[in-house]
Amino acid sequence: MNDMMFANKDFVFSILENSYDGIYITNKDSITVYVNKAYENLTGHKRSEYIGKHMDDLIKSGIMKVDITGDVISSKKSITVTEELVSGKNVLITGNPIFNDQNEIIAVVTNVRDISEIISLEKKERLAKEIISRYQKQIFDTATMKNIICESSNTISVFNFAAKVAPKDSTVLLTGETGVGKEVVAKYIHYNSLRKDNNYIKINCGAIPENLLESELFGYVGGAFTGADPNGKPGLFELADNGTLFLDEIGELPLNLQSSLLRVLQDGEVTRVGSTKTKKVAVRLIAATNRNLKKMIQEKIFREDLYYRLNVISINIPPLRERRDDIPPLAELFIKQLNKKYHTQKKVSETFLLELMSMNWPGNVRELSNFIERQYILNESDILSTVYVNNLSQKENFHNHLQHSLENAMDPDSFNIEKAVSSIEVSLIKKALKKSKNTKEAAKLLGISQPTFSRKYNKYKNQGIL
């Protein structure tokens, strides 16, 4: 075919106009510059209602429910979501960034496909898996990391950043509360690096006695101390040569060992305990802590020079309360693992998942995992329909606003948990909309993604309670 044909604007326009899928195009400022005929048919609105309008204004006016253009521009990656249009049609929406020669985004092309006819229970589940696979595969393309849950926008941001860091050799400092999944991020970085075929070694600096930690890290020569192997022993730095060493709880490292670690980072050499000989090592170091290292520096219990050596790249993993969209898929993953362990086929109900999302998780993912296992064991039914609470401390684990909302929103004689949760969600959605300019801001206020907010809004609106 003649290449000149594709240089003809009329020809390209004809292709876009005759596309089966709806297509709309925005510039780098989120201003709509083109809408095709198929998109008009899908939405029931004329293109003149879109052209020249900013995406935020289209959301405010009610013509559109979801804007993924801003997320595509900020992430510089393709994004896929499912949504129900104002017209009532179910669609699969994919936004793709267009770059110039300077790798700057100049436009976003969004493809909208009508999937209304294939939304049956069986096909809907298959489609959901396909969609999750499409946007997660961009981040998680390593077989060893296939159990990573990445539904929340906050979690996606963490792993998008980790993906940029992984191919380099820079030292990484992971921060975050206990149980947020710092080791998961460390493994992800290793398995997506050029060192993935070499050793990944982890040591918890707070779990090993100080008198043993030095020999564990740096090794020792024969006869270095009483009980030492006469042949000596390599340390973890030597074992991790050309690979990755993950130092968990780095804030627990004693001051004298901080000096030794600093020398390794500066010189790329280790000296075994009892030896004067040095050995070159090429180790990628990832450290993690739940402590405030800057405060520890002020208290003279952590070296400032070591901190800056470790903090070349810093990644903060947000707590579970700031990524609540991860809770349902995490719960389902834990149930799947327990089913495999106990050779059963238990499932969870939507009500059960909603209750989990309404609870506080100070222990984060680790606490959620342990809690799910207790629920699994205590519940004799094949379906976990509601959270089983067997003591006061667990009851106090719920958000204070949940109890307050239950007392004020529900009939005191009613004990229907599903209605109670729905009532709370409706109340929160209304408050968020009052305080926000659009659904994007409302979703952010509630700590959920915009598509999740839209699904909940449409659900309650269709039920006539919103």
Burial string for 228-261 (b: 16+ CB within 10 Å, else e) reads beeebbebbbbebbebbbbbbbbbbbeeeebebb
Better-scored residue on pLDDT, 136 or 33: 33
Tell me the per-residue pLDDT of 369-427, one tens digit each, with 9 for 90 and over: 999 999 999 888 888 887 876 543 433 443 344 444 444 444 444 445 566 667 777 87
Q: Output the pLDDT for position 159.
A: 92
Question: What local confidence, expressed as pLDDT, does residue 131 receive?
Answer: 45
pLDDT at 76 over 90: no
Residue type, 367: E
CATH for 13-118, options being 3.30.930.10, 3.40.50.11540, 3.30.450.20, 1.10.10.10 = 3.30.450.20
Question: At residue 367, does pLDDT exceed 80?
Answer: yes
- Whole-angstrom Cα distance, residue 361 to residue 352? 15
Of 464 and 72, the one with more pLDDT:
72
- Cα dist. 83→64, 66, 94, 120, 252 in Å? 10, 8, 11, 15, 47
Give the rounded distance of the alpha carbon of 98 from its chain centre: 25
**CATH number attached to the domain at 153-318:** 3.40.50.300
Looking at residue 125, its pLDDT comes to 52
The arithmetic mean of pLDDT across residues 67-90, rounded, is: 82
- Please tell me the least confidently modeled range out of 80-89, 123-132, 253-262: 123-132
Q: In what order do the strands lie in the sheet with 200-204?
A: 200-204, 244-248, 284-289, 172-175, 313-316
pLDDT (average), residues 95-109: 90
pLDDT score for 120: 47
Q: State pTM to two decimals.
A: 0.57
Average pLDDT of the residues in 276-284: 94
Give yes or no for residue 85 having a pLDDT over 50: yes
Residue 139 has pLDDT above 60, yes or no: no
Q: Mean pLDDT over all residues of the chain?
A: 82
How is the chain split into domains, by residue range?
Answer: 13-118, 153-318, 321-462
What's the average model confidence in pLDDT over 196-205?
94
- Please, which pLDDT band fits residue 126 given cuts at 50, 70 and 90? low
pLDDT band at 63 (very low <50, low <70, confident <90, very high): confident
Q: What pLDDT score was predicted for residue 175?
A: 97
Cβ(136)–Cβ(145) under 8 Å?
no
Predicted pLDDT at 258: 95
User: Structurally, what CATH architecture does the domain formed by 321-462 represent?
Assistant: Orthogonal Bundle (1.10)
The Cα 275–Cα 221 span in angstroms is 6
pLDDT of 281: 95
Residue of higher predicted confidence among 431 and 345 = 345
Residue 11 has pLDDT above 60, yes or no: yes
Least confidently predicted of 176-185, 333-342, 381-390: 381-390
**In this model, does residue 314 exceed pLDDT 70?**
yes
More confident residue, 309 or 3: 309
Task: Please give the share of the chain, as a percent, with pLDDT higher than 90.
Answer: 43
Contact 67, 46 (CB under 8 A): no
